[in-house]
Amino acid sequence: MRKNKFKVVVYAITKNEEKFVDRWVDSMQEADEIVVLDTGSDDETVSKLQARGVKVTVQKIEPWRFDVARNKSLEAVPDDADICVCTDLDEVFVPGWRTTLENLWQEETTRLRYNYNWSLDEDDKPLVNFYIEKIHIKKGYRWTHPVHEVLSYDGIENFLTTDDITVNHYPDKEKSRTSYLPLLELSVEESPKDDRNVHYLGREYMYYGKWNEAIDTLIYHLTLPTATWKDERCASMRFISRCYKNLKRYDEAKLWLDKAMVEAPYLRDPFVERELLAYSLNEWYDVIKYGKRALSIVEHPKSYINEIFSFDGTPYDLMSLAYYYIGEKNLALEYVKKALIYSPNDERLLNNKKIFEDALKN
């Protein structure tokens, strides 16, 4: 007789992640079963997983697509599973997640939205936090898109949302993401009006320094009738501005940040980016103007769109420097002290504090 109300099965894909196996399996042990699709490891990933009791299938996916791999791993989940939990080996559940899941889940539930810490600092404090939706029933779901894959359902979904289940993400910083750009290009080729992946493609072009391709793609994103989420539209505008900044077309960079601020005036990000742009151009009064506007926004939305620099010490740091350069030494010291709250051991900030203190003595 089963102890729990529901049968919970974790499933994942992996390749060459032996260093994560024990931590990941420890985190997933609350499930009834763990199944993994290995897509061609040449290290000890498979043997280590099997030694921990994980059911492993090995299959190379050629040509590589994340959605195909995810669907193959989902196929390995037994049909009598009530709840499927998709994770990656660089992710860790906060303990107790299974009990919470049991208490939340209803017979009619199809999918759960829960807390995801995508980026954490050295003290495990979340830097970027949002909801993900990778806990679901098996029947009716499939993964779509070659990269940045999402779950699609063939019926009407019945969502639950909770902050009481949390996954922490500890990425392998050495892992290559070179496959993302061609897969995003393929994704947009397959679904040219999918606003989400058009946005991702424009962002990826920006990461690669393909400034003109990024600008064209992000402007195209903004023209799509389904591109209605203001946070993401604001991000596209900010990214267009970054591209123009790198092209040294500063007036256009400012113009697009003006648009971003109008699009989502409740977000700090466009104001901090405008502050950063002003700093790069030695426009000290604009640094102070946009820094103050950024800091007047205190709410930190739960979204992957947020930039880490918007809610760390960056706005204070830039304002301290701007105040110093316009001769306001007292305010320079006040703001560098605020920046140091976020990074108390930062040598540059500590040195700036000493410079400002010495300047006030003379």
Q: Does domain 8-169 have CATH number 3.90.550.10?
A: yes
Per-residue model confidence (pLDDT) at position 13: 98
Per-residue model confidence (pLDDT) at position 176: 74
One DSSP character per residue, 23-43 reads HHHHHHTTSSEEEEEE----S
Q: Does domain 180-311 have CATH number 3.40.50.1980?
A: no
Query: Residue holding tokens 């989502």?
Result: 264
Per-residue model confidence (pLDDT) at position 113: 97
Specify the pTM.
0.91
Using left for φ > 0, alpha for ψ between -120 and 50, and beta otherwise, residue 53 falls in left
Sketch the domain layout of the chain as residue ranges: 8-169, 180-311
Query: CA-to-CA distance for 261 and 273, rounded, in angstroms?
Result: 10
Mean pLDDT, 10 residues at a time, the chain of 362 residues: 81 97 97 97 97 97 96 97 97 97 96 95 89 97 96 96 96 81 96 96 97 98 97 98 98 98 97 98 98 96 89 97 97 98 96 95 82
166 with 198: CB under 8 angstroms?
no
Per-residue model confidence (pLDDT) at position 337: 98
Query: CA-to-CA distance for 295 and 316, rounded, in angstroms?
Result: 9
Query: CA-to-CA distance for 220 and 198, rounded, in angstroms?
Result: 8
Tokens, residue 124: 């495990």
Per-residue model confidence (pLDDT) at position 1: 39
Query: CA-to-CA distance for 249 and 259, rounded, in angstroms?
Result: 16
Per-residue model confidence (pLDDT) at position 306: 86
